[in-house]
Amino acid sequence: LPSKLPAGKTSIFSVMSSLARKHNAIDLSQGFPNFETDRKLKELVYKAMKEGYNQYPPMNGIPELREQVVAKIEKLYGKKYNEASEIIFTAGATQALYCAITAFVHPGDEVIVFKPAYDSYEPDIKLAGGKTVLIELKGEDFKINWEELEQKISSKTRMVIINTPHNPTGTILNKEDMLRLEKLLNNTNIILLSDEVYEHLIYDDAQHQSASKFPGLAERAIVCASFGKTFHNTGWKMGYCVAPEVLMNEIIKFHQATVFCVNHPMQWAFADYLKNPDHYLERGDFYQQKRDKFLELMHGSKFKGTPSKGTYFQVMDYSAITDEHDVDFAKRLITENGLASIPISVFNKDGKDDKKLRFCFAKTEETLEKAAEILHKL
């Protein structure tokens, strides 16, 4: 049978992680922390299990967690979602993205994606029969070219996907960017899919500019979030999305058909844990220290990069070392030097490389030190 995803080979994250394991390499490739999630949070999950929350929760999530998250969004971004009809919990942000894309993209529709882009958008668009229209983020700071966006919006454009803070580049959209986008989408029926999984991992006193903050965006936006990134538990695969009721009414059908509902005891745990805002507000400082440590350790090496503004990734240029293609160089770094990273070209459709690697700094100081020691020798 013909494959529905002919280009859907094993993701670079699995490839690099398994190569890293095979060669016992220091792993700064796939984005996950190598330290533990808060013990209090784990205990809350166990408490909920002991209390008997071990069967299906309501399809859209327990009311206690919906209330907490809706209140958090209102406090941070000033937008009040209806907790009964405008939020659902999903199997990581990945499932929220899948439901959002497949619910609205019809065969022949165009979806605008900025490249380099996280790797799950394109397969979802393809499965829905849509066409991905790419816009490259260029230059050292990977800014959106607004004229190009304006030109590429057509009568077929169904959706625009943004991601801030941005994986893999570590750039962020600022207030002016969001206002510009709001103006561009005004008077269209284009849906905005806003991937905000790194909302709390933002540095140097910058404010996260959520699509929900801007009324002209919020009215058309599906905002996707992930607890995994904020609370150091990517393996729990807990996420959510919020959207105006008319959009959520459709998304929820796809949620129902894919998983129906997600982990019940974890929902109770997060409902309790989110009552203390420090648990998410202090993540920016926590990861900024890690970023600064990594950059300080890399100082004096041949790798160069502008400091990441958000996410737990730092992109670095290695052109002073070799002109090898980034995938070859990244593989050789694992097999010969024992250090795993992610080559940036895999986020570009044509595989074009700019001699840049992505390093995940969500690691213990000891791991970062060992990594830097290896990288200094190159």
242, β-bridge pairs: 87, 223
Give the residue carrying structure tokens 């910058």. Answer: 206
CB closer to ligand GLN, 28 vs 149: 28
Among 23, 28, 30, 344, binds ligand GLN (CB under 6 A): 30
Residue 137's region, left for phi above 0, alpha for psi from -120 to 50, else beta, is: beta
Query: In angstroms, how far apart are the furthest CA atoms of the chain?
Result: 58
Rounded Cα distance between 285 and 206, Å, is: 11
11 binds ligand GLN (CB under 6 A): yes
Give the contact letters, 161-190, x = binds to ligand PMP (CB under 6 A), - = no.
--x---x-----------------------
Give the contact letters, 215-254, x = binds to ligand GLN (CB under 6 A), - = no.
----------------------------------------
95 binds ligand GLN (CB under 6 A): no
The stretches of the chain forming alpha helices (DSSP H) are 12-22, 39-50, 63-77, 92-104, 121-127, 146-152, 175-185, 215-218, 227-230, 245-258, 264-273, 278-281, 283-298, 326-332, 365-376
Q: Which of residues 18-37 bind ligand PMP (CB under 6 A)?
A: 31
Residue 93 binding result from ligand PMP, ligand GLN, none, given CB thresholds of 5 to 8 Å by partner type? ligand PMP
Residue 226 binding result from ligand GLN, ligand PMP, none, given CB thresholds of 5 to 8 Å by partner type? ligand PMP
Residue 163 binding result from ligand PMP, ligand GLN, none, given CB thresholds of 5 to 8 Å by partner type? ligand PMP
**Residue 328 CA to chain centroid, in angstroms?**
25
Rounded Cα distance between 68 and 87, Å, is: 11
* Closest CA relative to residue 112, chosen from 196, 193, 178: 193
Q: Which of residues 162-181 bind ligand GLN (CB under 6 A)?
A: 167
Element (H, E) at 278: helix 278-281
34 binds ligand GLN (CB under 6 A): no
Give the contact letters, 87-106, x = binds to ligand PMP (CB under 6 A), - = no.
-----xxx------------
Q: What would the two tokens of residue 372 be?
A: 């830097």
CB of 8 to ligand PMP, least distance (A): 16
C-alpha distances in Å from residue 357, one per residue of 182, 239, 289, 338, 360: 32, 27, 21, 15, 10
Count of residues in contact with ligand PMP, rule CB under 6 A: 14
Q: Which of residues 230-249 bind ligand PMP (CB under 6 A)?
A: 234, 237, 239
Count of residues in contact with ligand GLN, rule CB under 6 A: 5
Contact between residue 161 and residue 111 where contact means Cβ atoms under 8 Å apart: yes
Q: What would the two tokens of residue 249 be?
A: 């009414």
CB closer to ligand PMP, 60 vs 233: 233
Q: Is 128 helix (H, G, I), strand (E, B) or coil?
A: coil
Among 26, 31, 172, 375, binds ligand GLN (CB under 6 A): 31
Give the residue carrying structure tokens 């996410």. Answer: 311
Residue 30 binding result from ligand GLN, ligand PMP, none, given CB thresholds of 5 to 8 Å by partner type? ligand GLN
Among 17, 102, 169, 226, binds ligand PMP (CB under 6 A): 226
What is the rounded (10 degree) CA torsion for 351, 294, 362, 322? 20
CB closer to ligand GLN, 31 vs 130: 31
- State the residues that interact with ligand PMP by CB under 6 A: 31, 92-94, 118, 163, 167, 195, 197, 226, 228, 234, 237, 239
- State the residues that interact with ligand GLN by CB under 6 A: 11, 13, 30-31, 167
